[in-house]
Structure 1
């Protein structure tokens, strides 16, 4: 298979994954999944990209924004870095999700963090203060980008109650607005995390 064929095969899948906030590396799997189960990602092992053989924790939670996209992972640290099981927040800009087919035909995931040991140890702790600050900044970012619009979660519920073309148009407007707001939410979380 030529490089051009590989690019044509992987590029459409990669663009879809960016929209959901998860980036899959081409060498980690042969075909993009297209749809990912949160249950399969929860408890996934977390490794530093600079030391892929050392497990530094596991995914404890997945944080979603009003745009229905993944914006960060909560990782329960392991003993290898001396963090004593503390939960840290890793925004999308700092990790990639490797999808690995298992021998029995199922799929497993591994999170690779683009950070040194020191950078990982200095990531913000997932605690009440961080949650409150992130909610406030994310909501403010959403309101600035949506001019006070409802969240995608609310719009989807309302759209589901309608039928036919009206529901489809409501969903399309929500999706377009959510994409714009998603960028603003990610930027706000990156700013408080970094």
Structure 2
């Protein structure tokens, strides 16, 4: 029962907050959608500019930070992409989301905009990479300064607070979270670039 509730909560939170995290990587072909369903993103086909004739690849995970935003997507590459079917980490600077209509429904494609050489240099996703990325993101979060308590924890505190000053405290926490979130994104982008050199 607890596991089911946790799974439902994770899916609901991820879906509801997805748009904020993709703000850097999103370029709508049509009008912006306002909110993006995580389930729809998992259904999106991933196409590579560096391998235009390849079969579509698949999004298998989203990495969210303490600022409640998506900082990277994890993609299982199709063998035809030329990356040996590896699972690759793409920070928001490496892709864009394209919206289109099909049978009256909005659908999405993800376009990876890296050349073949850069694609080969991007990090492969495994437990070691995830552990290192978590540590770097945690350090980035702490170096961002005052007011950067995890937005996940602040959400709960905000719900529990009643009375005067709650809105101000929430705004301060959100500003700190945004500052720290930018630092997390910069850290992951810099680390990804360093790995490629």
Q: Deviations over 1:50-72 (max 9, x none)?
A: 55563451111111111111110
For structure 1, which segment, 70-79 or 146-155, has the greater mean C-alpha deviation from structure 2 after superposition?
146-155
Structure 1 portions without partners, runs of 5+ = 1-16
| Equivalent residue pairs, number | 175
Q: Are the equivalent residues in 2 in contact too, given 1:81–1:121 (CA < 8 A)?
A: no
Q: Are the equivalent residues in 2 in contact too, given 1:160–1:167 (CA < 8 A)?
A: no
Return the alpha-carbon distance in structure 2 between the equivalents of residues 78 and 118 of structure 1: 17
Partner of 1:24 in structure 2?
26
Return the alpha-carbon distance in structure 2 between the equivalents of residues 135 and 181 of structure 1: 14
Moved over 6 A (4+): none
Alignment of 1:39-188 (within 5 A): 39-50=39-50, 52=52, 54-103=54-103, 105-147=104-146, 149-188=148-187
Q: Are the equivalent residues in 2 in contact too, given 1:155–1:170 (CA < 8 A)?
A: no
TM-score of the superposition, structure 2-length normalised? 0.79
What is the Cα deviation at residue 122 of structure 1? 2.6
What is the Cα deviation at residue 164 of structure 1? 4.7
Structure 2 portions without partners, runs of 5+ = 1-17
Return the alpha-carbon distance in structure 1 between the equivalents of residues 127 and 189 of structure 2: 18
C-alpha change, 1:130 and 1:148, in structure 2 (3 Å) is farther
TM-score of the superposition, structure 1-length normalised? 0.80
